[in-house]
Amino acid sequence: MTRAAVPGLASRYPIGELLPALYADDDLAQRFTAGLDTVLAPVLSTLDNLPAYFDPGLAPADFVDWLSSWVGIGTGPDQPDELRRAVVARAVELHRWRGTRRGLAESLRLRLGVEAEIIDGGGATWSTEPNGELPPPPSGELLVRVRPLRTSPAPVTETQVLDIVRASCPVHLTCRVELLPGRPDHREG
């Protein structure tokens, strides 16, 4: 989509009407300014509607991708339009919860349309008794099990999930992903 030249878009502020009375009947001046109006009309229209460009729900689809770069959230052209808009709209909240189970699960739900079960193997160990035996150390593995929330023509791949998980996972943990079939309301036992 381009906002550079919109055929037939009339200027809300025609330059010919702003000229002194001497040029009001001058055919050359009116045709010249009409040409400038054609060039400036998309610019003025964009400026008149500028707040709508910063609202992910109203912005043109190509501008939503640009907005995602402003807020530091990666969206892809392969994602449905409504998901890309939702991710950009909730970017601040996703950043606030980054690095937590809740943040990772919400990010996976918004970006890929999957439900995630996250088993965190990192953490600290301690003993409830003084000078007591310490529990075994944590496994150091983050296991993410995902299940699709909706039927989509292109199934979610392990690589897509791992890209999002690795962006949120602490460096000291290894990440493993399990893709589970079916929808969450059709779980076994």
Q: Does position 74 have pLDDT exceeding 80, yes or no? A: no
CA dihedral sign, ordered 94, 99, 103, 104: positive
Q: Does position 93 have pLDDT exceeding 50, yes or no? A: yes
pTM of this prediction? 0.62
Q: Does position 45 have pLDDT exceeding 90, yes or no? A: no
> CA-CA distance, 101 to 96, in Å (whole number)?
12
pLDDT in tens, 28-39: 999 999 999 988
Give 96's Cβ-side CA count (13 Å radius). 4
> CA-CA distance, 164 to 146, in Å (whole number)?
12
Question: Which is higher by pLDDT, 48 or 182?
Answer: 48
> CA-CA distance, 129 to 90, in Å (whole number)?
44
Kindly list the distances between the CA atom of residue 135 and the CA atoms of 122, 131, 148, 175, in Å, as whole numbers in the listed order: 13, 12, 36, 23
pLDDT in tens, 119-156: 887 666 777 788 877 777 777 788 899 988 766 556 88
Q: In Å, how far from its chain's centre is CA 45? A: 25
Is the separation of the CB atoms in 118 and 142 below 8 Å?
A: yes
With bands split at pLDDT 50, 70 and 90, how would you rate the model's confidence at 3? low
> CA-CA distance, 120 to 100, in Å (whole number)?
10
Facing residues of 143 across strands? 119, 176
